[in-house]
Chain A
């Protein structure tokens, strides 16, 4: 764990370069290059793909910050919580990206679902890199745990260090799960690109992974809704799972009607 990767000295001032930021940049670069390689292979318009990547990355950041702000408002029961230090939530990024995808499809005349279906393994890989950034930064930490793989956060700049105790390496669990998903999706052949099947499968499998791992999270931001019973991530992951199941049922029904 190394929250500060290096420090650049500019005269008498210090500019710390955080590991989380570096890993986030690396994840974005890997995803962008992977998506562009996929688009070139599929013979899609590269310029439109670049514009779509720029739009979705921007929407992702806005969504992530907005969801974090919303959770803070719910937690504190006041809109003034928006003035608290900024933060990001992954599901907010996913919702932001989902909101602008139809816009990109219409504006750029780009088959975004086909691109997304083909790019799922790269998306999983980028997501895993982001979680490794969490591990290095000492955020998104797990519950206290003394067993195998337990991590003791001792860097004073890591948020987990303030609470002490050895903990579950939660970001490592999630990164491993995402890497497994990346391998599985890379090995599975792309059938019906553009139908959104693989994207739905990724959303559903990540939601399941998140629901399964959420009880191991240890940061006190958990348990905001329904009297502390559910966290934002659990709530959204449950909603995504229900949405994915409904979409799958609709697709099956439409398929059956098409055959009769």
Chain B
């Protein structure tokens, strides 16, 4: 059970990574993203049980302790992946958001750089370099991504962009 706990931690970490990579793929990304913390929690439970049994049987609990610590450390990034990529993929799969190549988060300014801003419903205007006939600036991204490249998702969707009946938020 202690070894199983360590295996679960490795699987959780792998699932979290796959969750990030497969975010644009409907359903699959959510399966990986939400599966990662579930695996880490299962690993924690297995490690704890192994610790308890080892203590009662007076055998070594080192592997179990390692499993618990490893799973605990994996749980944090796994949960963050679930709450970002997993929720994003769930929105994506439900057809609630529109993927936009030009969407970027701007933490410092507190607003998405090229997304919709408050009071501006609908699609944001294209930057000058992406307008037909405009000259691309050296410090700006190219207008079109390489063929076959998956577009990054716009998460969370700007509320103004797609008005909903009610914000789906924790109570």
Q: Looking at the complex, which one of B38, B55, B84, B168 makes contact with A21 (CB distance below 8 Å)?
A: B84
Tell me which of A1-9, A186-194, A200-208, A246-254 binds B.
A1-9
Number of interface residues of A (CB under 8 A): 72
Contact call B115/A47, Cβ cutoff below 8 A: no
Contact call B80/A156, Cβ cutoff below 8 A: no
A185 at interface (Cβ–Cβ under 8 A)? no
Chain B interface residue number, banded: 35 or more
Given contacts A47-B51, A108-B52, contact A13 B170 (CB under 8 A): no
B166 at interface (Cβ–Cβ under 8 A)? yes
Contact call B167/A21, Cβ cutoff below 8 A: no
Q: Who on chain A is nearest to B71 by CB? A: A54
In whole angstroms, how far apart are the Cα atoms of A157 and B104 in the complex? 12
Question: What's the minimum C-beta distance from B89 to chain A, rounded to whole angstroms?
Answer: 10
Question: What's the minimum C-beta distance from A57 to chain B, rounded to whole angstroms?
Answer: 6
A87 at interface (Cβ–Cβ under 8 A)? yes
Contacts of A221 in B (CB 8 A): 166-167, 169, 171
Q: Looking at the complex, which one of A5, A85, A233 makes contact with B171 (CB distance below 8 Å)?
A: A233
Q: Looking at the complex, which one of B48, B72, B149, B158 makes contact with A156 (CB distance below 8 Å)?
A: B158
Contact call A51/B49, Cβ cutoff below 8 A: yes
Contact call A159/B167, Cβ cutoff below 8 A: yes
Contacts of B75 in A (CB 8 A): 28
Contact call A18/B84, Cβ cutoff below 8 A: yes
Chain A interface main SS type: helix
Q: Who on chain A is nearest to B165 by CB? A: A220
A112 at interface (Cβ–Cβ under 8 A)? no
Name B5-51 residues within 8 Å CB distance of A. 20, 37-38, 41-42, 44-51
In whole angstroms, how far apart are the Cα atoms of A5 and B67 in the complex? 30
Given contacts A21-B80, A55-B45, A57-B41, contact A47 B110 (CB under 8 A): no
Contacts of B155 in A (CB 8 A): 16
Q: Chain B interface (Cβ within 8 Å of chain A)? A: 20, 37-38, 41-42, 44-55, 61, 64, 68, 72, 75-76, 79-80, 83-85, 87, 90-91, 94, 96, 104-105, 107, 110-112, 115-118, 145, 149, 152, 155-156, 158-160, 163, 165-171
Q: Chain A interface (Cβ within 8 Å of chain B)? A: 2-7, 10, 12-18, 20-22, 24-25, 28-29, 32, 45-55, 57-58, 61, 64, 67-68, 71-72, 75, 83-91, 108, 134, 137, 139-140, 154-162, 164, 219-221, 231-233
Inter-chain pairs besides A7-B107, A156-B112, 11 sampled, C-beta below 8 Å? A14-B104, A50-B45, A71-B171, A85-B87, A87-B170, A154-B118, A156-B117, A162-B167, A219-B166, A231-B171, A233-B171
